[in-house]
Every structure is written in C-alpha cells, then in structure tokens.
Amino acid sequence: MERKVVFGPVPSRRLGQSLGINNIPAPKICSYSCVYCQIGITLNYSTERREFYSVKKIVDEVSDILKKLKDKGEKVDFISFVPDGEPTLDINLGEEIEALRQFNIRIAVITNSSLLWKEDVRNDLKKADLVSLKIDTVNRKIWEKINRPVRGISIDKILEGIKKFSSVFNGVLLTETLLVKGMNDSADLIKETGLFILSIKPSTAYIGIPTRPPAEIWALPPIEKKVLYAYEIFTGYGIKTELITGSGSGIFGFTGEIEEDIVNTVSVHPMSKKQIEKLLKKANNNWNIMEKLLKKEVIKEIKYQGEKYYIKNFSK
Ligand code: SF4
C-alpha cells in the first residue's frame, strides 16, 4: 500500500487544529538523534537535502483530506510540516509550501534548526507563516550530548543561521527548548539559552520536558523547580514564555470549571499563591480546591524566592 504523508487533523496548543504532513519517509531520517526523541534513535543520519515525495503527491493528499473534512464541517487552522525526522531535509519544502497556498490555510514548519546555516533552507522556511525552532542549548558540549548531531555540523554556524533567519522572517517565530534532567537544566545553561532566544525575539518561547517514552530511558524531565526556574529566567528577560509539560487541555475530567481552569493554567504558566487566591476569589471559591488538587498530586507546590508557586505535576 502506498504510504500516506498527510495525517490528522490533530489538536495542538501552538497550532490549533493542525493537519500534519510527514514529508520524511520511515525509518526516520534526521540530522540529530536527540536523547528524548519519541521515535527512537536515528539510524539514518543525514544533512543532505533530497526529494522524498513529489509535490503533487503531497498537494493531492492534502486536497483530498480537506474535501472530506469540509463535508464533515471540520476546520483546519494550520497545515504543518511535522514529520518523523527533520522536515528541511526535503528539498521540495519551499515548492510544497508555495503549492499548498491554494488552500488558503496557514502553513507551519517545526524544525530542529540544524540546517539553518544553509541559505536554501532559510529561503524555504521564509515562505511559511509560522516556524518553530528547536533551541535546547547554545553550549556545544551539551548540544553534542542532547541532540547528538551528525558529524560535520557546527553549532556556531547553526546559531548564526538562526540569527540570520530570525532577522528576515516575517511570519510567527516560535522556539522550543526541551529540558532534560542533569543535561541542559543548570542555571548557567538556562541563562545562556534564554539570552540567545531573547536575541532572536520569538513571539513565544516554549519550554518542554520529555513527556513520552524517550529514545534513551535515562532522558528524564528535570525536577519541577528547575522548570519553574527556566520559566522565570526567560520571562525575566522579557520573553513571552509558555510551558509544555504534558496535557494542557481540559481532559482531566473534573466537574468544577475552576479546577479545570487552574490545572490548565498551571500546565502552561506556573502561578504564585497570590495569583491563585485572586482567581479563586473571582470565581467565588476558596483554597479547598487547591488542597484537593495537591492531595490528588495533580499539581505541585514549589517554594521559589520566598514565594509559593504552583505548577503541574509532570509525573501525573
Ligand atoms: S530532531 Fe526531532 S526527529 Fe530528530 S532526533 Fe531530535 S526529536 Fe527526533
């Protein structure tokens, strides 16, 4: 059977209803072999751009699915290149984006940024409406340990490419930093990463943690305090920051809306005790709800710089 390249739509916090394009064939082809990769270790390392599917195949599949979705009354917010592998390895990426314009739906590319030193890659990405760049660290040694890049690429050239791209890109620029316990979660490394991200002025910087089974079982999420620290450092630099720490949608099955509101909010933004008290007051409610959530271990209390903060419990 011929392999399908289009999937979804799947709900995504960043992209709404996102129709995914898996423009890299299996088994995964990537320039990285991140320790937290959900697809396992990379067996096909590459930095060479080539054709995997014809532009026509991708456009025809998208057209077909959009027709079916329209009949069902379903909407799509983004057509997103989110393959199992690195999407910019597809030499037709720019042409595909141009051809998909006919559907009048915004187009997103989620890239690991490793090929942004190539001018042709930057030119292709410029055609998208939204680009999300992976920036786990700016420290060469840590980059080599977490992202395990293919031989022959340099982090200095990548960071330079990211800067060049961010200075000319007119669309929505996002960054994604995945924190791994004991690897890129120290105060110094987080500050370095934050300062670099600040310099490229993304619309939003996302801080994530390994949430699904990673390529290496030892690639664990940092303790909540470190994630809160990273959030505070980034926001302290003036970067609009959100957390991706597991489910942030209303799927917790609580009856009370305020409970759901609190859980959904602390999944994205840690909240101080004062902020929660204010919210509870507005909802004509009291601290009992927090006691219940803490007892159920849905959320966690963390002391940070003399204040109590609440954040989602990652292990739940
Ligand atoms: S860049 Fe993405 S696909 Fe490639 S190894 Fe890392 S997580 Fe996996």
Residue 250 has pLDDT above 90, yes or no: no
Interatomic CA distance for residues 28 and 116, integer angstroms: 20
Pull the structure tokens for residue 168: 């000319």
Plot region of 92 (φ>0 → left; ψ -120 to 50 → alpha; else → beta) = alpha
Question: What integer pLDDT is reported at residue 43 of this predicted model?
Answer: 94
Query: Could you tell which of 34, 36, 38, 90 is best to mutate to test the pocket of ligand 1, judged by most ligand atoms within 8 Å of the CB?
Result: 34
* Whether residue 315 sits in one domain with residue 239: no
pLDDT in tens, 129-168: 999 999 999 999 999 999 999 999 999 999 999 999 999 9
Residue 156, domain member (yes or no): yes
Q: Is 204 in contact with 235 (CB distance < 8 Å)?
A: no
Please write the tens of the pLDDT for every residue from 214-227: 899 999 999 989 99
- β-strands 106-111, 130-134 pairing: parallel
For residue 248, pLDDT over 50 is answered with no
Q: Are residues 284 and 224 in the same domain?
A: no
Total domains, the chain:
2
The domain that holds 296 is classified in CATH as 1.10.10.10
Interhelix angle 288-295/273-282, rounded to 10 degrees, is 120
- Last residue of a domain, which of 245, 274, 292? 245
How far is the C-alpha of 59 from the C-alpha of 79, rounded, in Å?
A: 11
Question: Which residue shows structure tokens 């129709």?
Answer: 19
| Domain edge (last residue) among 222, 245, 268 | 245
Full domain range(s) for residue 36: 6-245
**Is residue 187 domain-shared with residue 279, that is, in the same domain?**
no
Average of per-residue pLDDT across 282-290: 90
Residue at 1 is within a domain: no
113 lines ligand 1 (CB under 6 A): no
- Residue 214: inside a domain, yes or no? yes
In a domain, 78, yes or no: yes
Q: In angstroms, rounded to a whole number, what is the distance separating the alpha carbons of residues 205 and 132? A: 9
Classify residue 225: in a domain, yes or no.
yes
Please work out whether the CB of residue 176 comes within 6 Å of at least one atom of ligand 1: no
Both 296 and 211 in one domain: the answer is: no
User: Is the same domain home to 236 and 267?
Assistant: no
Residue 40 lies in a domain: yes
CATH of residue 139: 3.20.20.70
Which residue's CA is the nearest one to ligand 1's atom 5?
A: 33
How sure is the predictor about 251, in pLDDT bands with cuts at 50, 70 and 90?
very low
- The 3 state secondary structure assigned to 167-210 is HHCCCEEEEEEECCCCCCCCHHHHHHHHHHHHHHCCCEEEEECC
Residue 112 in contact with ligand 1 by CB distance below 6 A: yes
> CA separation (Å) from 51 to 22, 170, 246?
13, 27, 34
In a domain, 253, yes or no: no
